[in-house]
Chain A
Amino acid sequence: MDAEMEDAETRAEIEWDGGGGGADAVLALAAGGASVSLCYHQAFGRHDDLVLLEAADDLLPDLLQGRVTIRGRPDEEAVLCTPSATYSMKFVGTSNSVFLIPPGEPSAPCLRPDNTSGDANAADAVAAAIKLAPGNIELVRTAPRLDKLRSLLRERPYTLDEDLGDGFQHKKGLYTWQDLCKLIQASDGELLDGLNTLSAVEIDGFWRTVDATSMNTILDMILHNSVLHDWPLNAVPENDVLSVMESDGFAHKIVTHCLNRFGTKVEQEGRSFWSLDEKCVCLQFARRVLGAGKMKLANFMDKWKRSVPSGMRVDLQMLEGEVLYDKLGAETWVHAFSVADLPLTPAERFAALFRERLKWEWKDLQLYIRDLRVPGVSSEGLLIKYTRRTQPSSEAEPIFTAR
């Protein structure tokens, strides 16, 4: 833009009342020689408070009905969130002159450069441009940024013996739904999914994870009471288990949360029962056994089989995405390596995977990347971007290394 334009823009900007542009006259121009006189609005200027946002038709209803928020801290790139999706916001500049003409009747006539009012054609309608748009914001569907959620909830997991005081310092490391909405760059739906994935529960208005020791204690007590009261593990009566557990000093909400994590609720003849999931329960016991560190597979299997409740059968397939096997000579060793502990962004996920192992076979690698969701990018696309594939022969299994 030339000096005069810049000069005009640096002068004190006139407050714009929101109208007086004559857009209707421009939009109504039809074939047949009609004309409109275009001029700079009396309040023409930079108007940085006005922004253009590109919105696909499927997004318009959410935007026009106030179901949209922009989330992010000053040091983060902002994202736009609908109730169910997250979009990154990119400013796309233009070198063209884009005159923005608001609706409403223009309040003043155009002024000619020689300071005379009116136009050659006095019958012309008038339209007034309020600003030159430097570009617009483009929305691109993106994955929710949930890594931060995990770290926030890990600050202060719920423990069975905790006592929350009333003082503000006791609330440190605790987050309400409103807090999380302000801190996490994800839509409400995606945030709720993230909380469910992390097995979080709302306790006294704060979203928390339950620490592993406490969860183990509650699960052990449920299993112990099932044996004691002859409750089948696929039909634990809800009212009975809750009353027994509450009499033992366990909070109703935490017991329900534990049952929800390790089982599914079923209704039979007007009564509620909980069916404990064999895989979830066995996996929890496997994690306990592997808490001791790397061990021989045979030793692990033996300990694992002996630790699970009677009637439940263990299977190595239950451990997909939870453990890694290493062949050392004739022996196979096993150690915990859970997909749930890995970063959620592709770049960081692959970096963590290649820190753990320099070379990955596809059968192992796919278990650790299948949960990655990047809108518009397939698993193959991610592999091309972050890995190098080698295959000595067409029959051989492909090997993936860091790119």
Chain B
Amino acid sequence: MEIRVRCGCGDSSCPEWAVVELQGAVQPQASFSGDIRGLHIGRLCSAPSPSSSKGGYTFTVGYHELAGTKVTLKKPLLVLRKKKLTGGAADQETPTAEVVELEVIGVIRHKILFKDRPKALISKPPTKEKAAVQPAAN
């Protein structure tokens, strides 16, 4: 069996995909029971990182904030899509055998990686400060 790997986009114009990687799993709120398709996950922001010269990123998911960086992959990842083409060769026992082909539809050269534990964003309720009563000057 031979599966051909094809690329319709050519060498230079292969569309680049993005990857956001974080440790653990993202779960919808317990109250949510609908379809997650189309559901908002979080807000990805670029932020200057104090620890490094490279720009950092924050990812806010619900009440959690993650800090991460953009990583250039040592080896690029190709995104392949399996295509089933019907109609086998005449010499095959089953003339309508499925022929599978893999098509390169994208390349991934970078990922935004969040490898640290999230920081909780819930702050303490504001406390009213008592105004200091100063005696009036006579």
Contact = CB atoms under 8 A, between A and B. Distances in A.
Interface in B90-112: 102, 104-106, 108, 110-112
Contacts of B7: 63-66
A71 B2 contact: yes
B129 interface: no
What's the dominant secondary structure at chain B's contact region?
strand
A64 B104 contact: yes
Interface string A100-126: 111100001011110100011100100
Contacts of A63: 5, 7, 78, 104
A43 B24 CA distance: 22
Contact of A5 (B19, B27, B59): B27
Interface string A114-158: 010001110010010100010010000000000000000000000
Contacts of B42: 37-38
Interface stretch (A52-60, A218-226, A343-351, A356-364): A52-60
B17 interface: yes
A172 B28 CA distance: 60
* B20, B23, B40, most chain A CB atoms within 10 A: B40
B41 A61 contact: no
Nearest to B5: A68
Contacts, number: 218
A51 B105 CA distance: 10
A212 interface: no
Contacts of A52: 77-80, 108
B1 A71 contact: yes
A74 B1 contact: yes
A336 interface: no
Contacts of A136: 77
Interface string A24-49: 10110111111111111111110011
Interface residues of B, number: 64
Interface string A60-86: 110111101111111000001000000
Nearest to B24: A97
Interface of B: 1-7, 9-11, 14-29, 31-48, 55, 57, 59, 75-83, 102, 104-106, 108, 110-112
19 contacts: A11-B35, A21-B18, A24-B18, A27-B18, A35-B45, A40-B37, A50-B81, A50-B82, A60-B76, A63-B104, A71-B3, A96-B21, A96-B22, A97-B23, A100-B79, A101-B20, A111-B38, A112-B40, A181-B2
Interface of A: 1-2, 4-5, 8, 11, 14, 18, 21, 23-24, 26-27, 29-45, 48-57, 60-61, 63-66, 68-74, 80, 95-103, 108, 110-113, 115, 119-121, 124, 127, 129, 133, 136, 181-182
